[in-house]
Structure 1
C-alpha cells in the first residue's frame, strides 16, 4: 500500500526510496565539493602559496674585459644568472630585455630569450651586455671610481610569462629582478645582491 503525502496523493514505496537515495547522493556530493574547496584553499595559502624566486648574478670573463676601447664603442660583458624556483608551479617567460645602469644611466642592454624554470627547480642562463664604454667614460665620476678601484652597477629585467601549477592551473605572471653589482677592479672580481618579486 502507498504512503499518503501532504496533499492526499499516495506515493509508492519505490518512489519514496528513490527520492531518499537522491537526497543522500546530493548531500554526499555537496559534502565532497566542500571538502575539495577547503583542501584547495588550504593548499593555496600553504603549500602552493607563491614565493619569490632566488636569483644570483655574476659577471664572468672580467679578466678579458676592456673599459678603454678606442676602436669600439661597445664592449661585451658576459653574465651568468642562476634562478632557483621554490614554488610547486613552473614559470615560462617570453623574450625580454634587461638593462645595466651606472649611476642611474643605462649603459648596456642584454637580451633574455624565453626560459622555462621548472617547479622547485634551478636553472643557469647566460646573457651578454653590450656596454657602451664611451658613454661610461663620459661620466666624470667614472674616473674617480677607476682611481678607487671599484664600480657600482645596477641591473634590472622584467620577465613576463605564465605560471603553471600541476599542469592544470595557468596564470599570467611577471618576475622582476633588480641586482646591485660591485665590480672590484683591483682584484678582478665581482659580487652581487639581487631582489626578486613575482606578481600574478
Structure 2
C-alpha cells in the first residue's frame, strides 16, 4: 500500500510540474495583452493632441492672413492731407529808421488750415508748430497741440503767427523789400503721427504744407499765395 501511495504522489507532482509552464505562459500573455492595450490608448491620445495643435496653428495662421488682407485693402493706411485754407493779416505796422537804415516791422498773421484724415481708422498726431519764415530765416511760430482725428473726418485749426521783430534786425534785404512794396514770407506746417490699423499695425505718417506769401506794404494784406503740399508714409 505504501508503494502505491508513493507512486500516486510522484504522479501528481509530475502532473503539477507539467501544468506550471502552461500557467506561466498564459499569465505572461495576459500581462502583454494588458500592456499592449495601454500603449494603444496612449498612442491615440498623442495623435489627438498633435491634431489639436495642428488645428490651432492653422486657425491662428488663417486669422493672421485675414487681418493682413484687411490691413492691405479696406484698412490700408492713407496719407493725411494738410491744407492752408487762408492767410490774412491781423496787424501790420512798418516804419523806417532813417539813421540806421532799418525797417521796424510788427506783423501778425491769422492762418486757417485743415487736416483731413482719409483713413477708415483714427489718426493721432504729435504736437508740433506752424512756422513763419522770411527768406529762409525763422521769424515766428505758433504751437499745434497733439490731437486725434476721427476716421474720414477733417480737423480745422486756427493759428496766429506773430513776427518776432528782433529776428529781423540783421536782415539787410528787408529794407529793399519794403521799398519795393512787397514783403515775401513763408508759412510751413508739418504734422506727424500714427495710423493704427485694427489696433495691431501702427504706421507712421506725416503731412506738411508750405505756402509762399507776399504782403503788400501799402494795402497791408496778402496779395499772393502759392502753396505746396507733401505727405509721406
Higher CA-based Rg = 2
Report whether the alignment pairs 1:115 with 2:147: yes
- After superposition, the CA RMSD in angstroms is 3.7
Q: In the aligned structure 1, how far is the partner of 2:178 from the partner of 2:78?
A: 37
Partner residue of 1:81?
113
- Runs of 4+ in structure 1 displaced over 6 angstroms? none
Check whether the contact 1:82–1:122 (CA below 8 A) recurs between aligned residues.
Answer: yes
Equivalent of 1:151 in 181, 184, 187:
184
Report whether the alignment pairs 1:47 with 2:64: no
Residue aligned with 1:36, SS: helix
Check whether the contact 1:178–1:195 (CA below 8 A) recurs between aligned residues.
Answer: yes
Higher helix share: 2
Alignment length (residue pairs):
189
Partner residue of 2:15?
none
Q: In the aligned structure 2, how far is the partner of 1:97 from the partner of 1:36?
A: 41
- So what's the TM-score if we normalise by structure 2? 0.62
Equivalent of 1:37 in 64, 73, 90:
64
Check whether the contact 2:207–2:232 (CA below 8 A) recurs between aligned residues.
Answer: yes
Q: In the aligned structure 2, how far is the partner of 1:42 from the partner of 1:88?
A: 15
Q: CA deviation at 1:41?
A: 2.5
Partner residue of 2:133?
101
Partner residue of 2:227?
193
- So what's the TM-score if we normalise by structure 1? 0.70
Structure 2: gaps (5+ residues)? 1-31, 97-103
Partner residue of 2:210?
179
1:50-99 CA distances to partner (integer Å, 9 max, x unpaired)? 3221111134433x4415268x8543211111111122332223432231
Partner residue of 2:92?
66
The 3 A distance-change label for structure 1 pair 84 and 160 is closer
Partner residue of 1:140?
173
Q: In the aligned structure 2, how far is the partner of 1:78 from the partner of 1:56?
A: 14
Q: In the aligned structure 1, how far is the partner of 2:156 from the partner of 2:112?
A: 7
Report whether the alignment pairs 1:128 with 2:160: yes
The 3 A distance-change label for structure 1 pair 55 and 94 is closer
The 3 A distance-change label for structure 1 pair 123 and 69 is farther
